[in-house]
Amino acid sequence: MAIKFNKLTTVIALASVVTSLLPIAANAAEVNVYSSRKEALIKPLLDQFSEKTGIEVNLLTGNSDALLARLKSEGENTPADLFLTVDAGALHRAVTAGVFQPVASQTINQVVPEEFRSGDDQWVGLSLRARPIFYSPERVDPEQLEDYMSLADEQWNDRVCIRSSNNLYNQSLVASLIDHHGAEKTEQWAEEFVENFARKPVGGDRDQIKGVAFGICDIAVANTYYFGHMLNSDDAEEKAAAEKVKIFWPAQDAQGAHVNVSGIGITEHANNVTEAKQLIEFLLSEESQKWYAEANYEYPVREGVAWSETLQQWGDFKKDDISMDILGENNADAVRLMNRAGWR
């Protein structure tokens, strides 16, 4: 005998189904991320994480300082569970602002070298970017190059391109030099280095590399991942410019080439700490670290992960193993030093 449903029966049945689903929806696992990295550079990994774990990731991207200000303003009402940003200086600002809580994870401590995570476990590095010297092989003999300090030599007068002192990457480089050589010697270096600028600092790292390619300057200081994007660009002019430039790894007989990090920390008022920790560990997995190297031409922070073909072409190098905490702690001194030296 067929069962007939009237409208009331149907409504009651549907209400019962919806009610039974409500607890599941209410308890659906999620994690909220504030990121200063562009969406294209992080979302593919977040989507993989969600597919693998069933944990939904809500992503908000923006300027690092603006996101930090938002975190401070929101306080305990912030929806953010994680704050992802670039450069040790930016991470130090977040620590100073008190927006992080310790990341307690034996897994993280095992795979990330100590120098690339906060000493008090406030944040952990996700990827590395090197900041070597770029030069024109037509106008510069690499035998003339040595380290960052040698860029103040008279032979480089009017031959150097570099970004402004407002750039965090340059601030961190100078912060490292203060640690290695002392503030007095570094300030003297900066004063002489500024005299070697081929032009007033302008533009981003790509512009410095293009400056070498177009003959505006003969050497430049820039991050390697910009160079990687240029070499693999769909823009024929940008790719051609990159192909005219080569990398020199500085200070290989001393402290090594300067490197910095992109990093992440769990926010002080996170509501989804377990899920946040799971996401960090996923981003440090071999699969994720390999993706970083291939998609953004950054170096894996986790040791033993294969480099992308592009990174391999640049050769192996000795990297400075200075603690990232020191770069943050020396940031204010570095900025004042650069301003006194006339680095604008």
Domain regions of the chain by residue span: 29-129+259-306, 130-258+324-340
Q: What percent of the chain has pLDDT over 70?
A: 92
Asked whether the domain spanning 130-258+324-340 has the same topology as the one spanning 29-129+259-306, the reply is: yes
The type of residue at 99 is V
Position 57 pLDDT exceeds 80? yes
The one-character DSSP state at 216 is S
Token pair for 237: 């002019």
Paired residues of 145 in beta bridges: none
Token pair for 229: 């994007």
Paired residues of 133 in beta bridges: 221, 248
Which has the closest alpha carbon to 131: 245, 232, 257? 257
Helix (H, G, I), strand (E, B) or coil at 199: coil
CATH of domain 130-258+324-340: 3.40.190.10
Binding residues: 225-226
Binding residues for Fe cation: 225-226
CATH superfamily of 29-129+259-306: Periplasmic binding protein-like II (3.40.190.10)
pLDDT of residue 41: 87
* φ, ψ (nearest 5 deg) of residue 101: -125, 160
C-beta separation of 282 from 33 below 8 A: no
Q: Residues with Cβ < 8 Å from 252, sequence gap 6 or more?
A: 317, 318
**Model-level pTM?**
0.90
Give 3's pLDDT tier (boundaries 50, 70, 90).
very low
Q: pLDDT for 279-328, tens place per residue?
A: 999 999 999 999 988 999 999 999 899 999 999 999 999 999 999 999 99
The one-character DSSP state at 299 is E
Q: pLDDT for 70-97, tens place per residue?
A: 999 999 999 999 999 999 999 999 999 9
pLDDT of residue 15: 38
The rounded distance, in Å, linking the Cα atoms of 136 and 243 is 10
